[in-house]
Chains A and B, each alone.
Chain A
Amino acid sequence: MIGRDSNEDGLVSMHWQNPAGPDVLTEIRRTSTVRDVREAMLALAYAIEASARPASGLCIVLNSRLSMDRLDEELTRFRAIVKPGVAEHIHLAAATSGPVMAVKGSFPTQEPGFMAALHAAVQREMAPSAAGRFTRQQVKALLVERWLWGLPALSLADTRRQTGASYATVAAALDELRQLHLLGDEREGPIVIRDLRPPLLLKLADEHGSARKLVRFVDPTGLAKLPSAMATRLESLRGRGEAGQVAVGGVLGAVHHFEDLNITAAPRLDLSVFDGDMTFVRQLDAGLMEVPKGRTNTKVTLAVHLQRDCRPPELRKSDAAVAAYLDCLADLLEVGLQADAEEFAYALCEKARLSA
């Protein structure tokens, strides 16, 4: 059985319950810094100690610039300083993407069920949409989105849990927010964003938009359904279980968030896709064709943004079909609807200010 297990000491990416031996707690990190690797192994050591069942820990480092020799050296050093009984249960391996995914290193078990689950978990982490998981941008997006919704401020540990980011990444994100004068100098307690003004929100949204992977589709017939009709069709697909983790953004999302927004008609449908799976596009409209990268002067019918979901988890269930404020705002900017984006940013900031 596989699950995602979190505890006070950090996140574990995968918990594999072994029917015939110790469980395996796996932490997957996309990093090239030794500090993150050490931190991940330490988190695993705490998780093993806290586990109700006997467990081993495996740290997988994705597409790292650290060599296998360097990782082996780190594992040896780590085991030398951790108490016996835990040390030998910590393992470290590297995974690289390519035509064939490769995972090599030290494994607590080679049991086929575990290896299959591990490959699947690594594959998910390597999906295009997952590329931004550990970035500072993602951390900033989550914190800003929470502030826009008027949700309680998170602690640094909570932020790590919600984003899966390393301590270093969260700390760097907070430093950037401090440089923008959005945070005070305090280093402890909840991360409270100060009054965010529309121009700065637009800047943050622009940065957020640039961090996403954009896939554009055109309709060569010129007979594509209207964006609103495609959104209706998407909802129908969702009802039939034929659309995965996808949310409507852009103009339609912005208008959903603020009905009274005086905004232009949607020139295209913007979708935020969180699991990298775009197979639903054929069901949405099989006549759409992907625009080759670099081609401009194309009337885009559908824009798919492959990304991590920056909506606060407590909001995802209640309004799963609509993208985050920040995504909708980034979409407006990406389309070139500057005036509409400014109006939307103003409305968002006003709402947040009133709910503060």
Chain B
Amino acid sequence: MTIAAMLSPAEVLTQVAAALPDEVRPNVVIIGSLAAAYHFFAADSDRAIRTKDVDCLFSPHSKAVAAAAVVTDRLIRANWTLREGPDWSVPGTKESRDEDLPMVRLRPPGTGASPWFLELLSAPPQYEPGGSAKKQRRIETSAGHFAICSFDYLALAEWQPIELPLQIRIARPEMMALANLLHHPVISDTLIAGTNYKRANKDLGRVLALAYLTTLRDRRSGEDELSEWPSRMWLALQEKFGGQARQLAANAGAGLAELLGSAADLDQALRIASLGLLASLDVSPEAFVATGARFMAEVIDELAALPAGDTPRPPLPAQQR
């Protein structure tokens, strides 16, 4: 895995927001590590992260294709360039098969090569149990044909995203965590392209990183944000997945439990998290294990218990400082 440069989340997000056309900004939700880093580190200029991609989700699904086409055209006109490499640098044509189309991955203009690129994604359509979790749609731009894809559980990123002063929105950390949890009910052997790292270890390690950062913030602010996660997750599951919500809530922790039971996978998950969201922190393996145990008890167990009562438990009393 190539180690990416350290980035300031506030600077990158400001650049992205400025590049987006005004009319599509209401349809954009930034997700992934940059969104999380902005949420946790925007006020702290000493904190930086490593990431190569900035994930830009267009929502709702019905407007995603049109908005993505507008953005692609506008950015290419503004000298953003297609990400180099055989898979990404050549747009498709109307004759290209859908599965052969490249994703939209654009690097910002500048004198040197930007360390990051913008990737466009679509909010998923209405959830249908048993269908393919990943869906791809064609977009036509002045530069050629591309594809944007969607994943079922990214619907959670659309749930009450956080409005930023930059006039774009970022996904809530707990919703990104839940999407990752649901996406990996087991630790599969699927590797991240070009690495020996398991995709599940990266995504589930991200969940623990988000939990760690939330706890860190809670302790500093005296709040108990983490305790609010289960009830919000349950509301979002009901809103986005209807009748499937109970089953999803009950099984949300399966993959993470498997990760916590495998020293090798957990070690890899921490290594990946330490190269990304936790890059400016020194989180020990013991701390990562403890964070996992805490997350299972305070979030996963609580989430699994919520459907039985069908109403969220009241939050814990405010912590005394």
- Which residues in A have some Cβ–Cβ distance to B below 8 Å? 219-223, 225-226, 228-229, 232-233, 236, 282-283, 285-289
Contact = CB atoms under 8 A, between A and B. Distances in A.
Contacts of B212: 221, 223
Given A232-B319, A236-B316, A283-B297, 12 more contacts: A221-B212, A221-B290, A222-B287, A223-B212, A223-B219, A225-B319, A228-B319, A229-B319, A229-B320, A233-B316, A282-B293, A285-B294
B293 A226 contact: no
Nearest to B217: A223
B215 interface: yes
10 contacts: A220-B290, A223-B219, A228-B320, A229-B319, A232-B320, A233-B316, A285-B294, A286-B293, A286-B296, A287-B290
B291 A287 contact: yes
Given A220-B286, A221-B290, A222-B287, A286 B297 contact: yes
B290 A226 contact: no
A289 B284 CA distance: 14
Contacts of B97: none
A220 B270 CA distance: 15
Contacts of B320: 226, 228-229, 232
The 6 closest A-B pairs by CB, nearest first: A286-B297, A287-B294, A220-B286, A287-B290, A229-B319, A221-B287
A228 B316 CA distance: 13
Nearest to B218: A223
Contacts of A289: 286, 290
Contacts of B219: 223, 225
A236 B315 CA distance: 11
Contacts, number: 51
A226 B319 CA distance: 8
Interface in B269-302: 283-284, 286-287, 289-291, 293-294, 296-298
Given A220-B284, A223-B219, A283-B297, A232 B291 contact: no
B134 interface: no
A237 to B, nearest CB: 10
Contacts of B218: 223
Contacts of A226: 319-321
B12 interface: no
Interface string B296-321: 11100000000000000000110111
Contacts of B289: 220
A268 to B, nearest CB: 15
A232 B286 contact: no
A272 B316 CA distance: 23
A177 B93 CA distance: 97
B71 to A, nearest CB: 39
Contacts of B294: 221, 285-287
B133 interface: no
B208 to A, nearest CB: 11
Contacts of A236: 316-317
A18 to B, nearest CB: 40
B308 to A, nearest CB: 14
Nearest to B296: A286
Nearest to A286: B297
Interface in B198-221: 212, 215-216, 218-219
Contacts of B215: 221, 223
Contact of A221 (B291, B296, B297, B316): B291
A221 B293 CA distance: 11
Which has the most chain B C-beta neighbours within 10 Å: A220, A232, A289?
A220
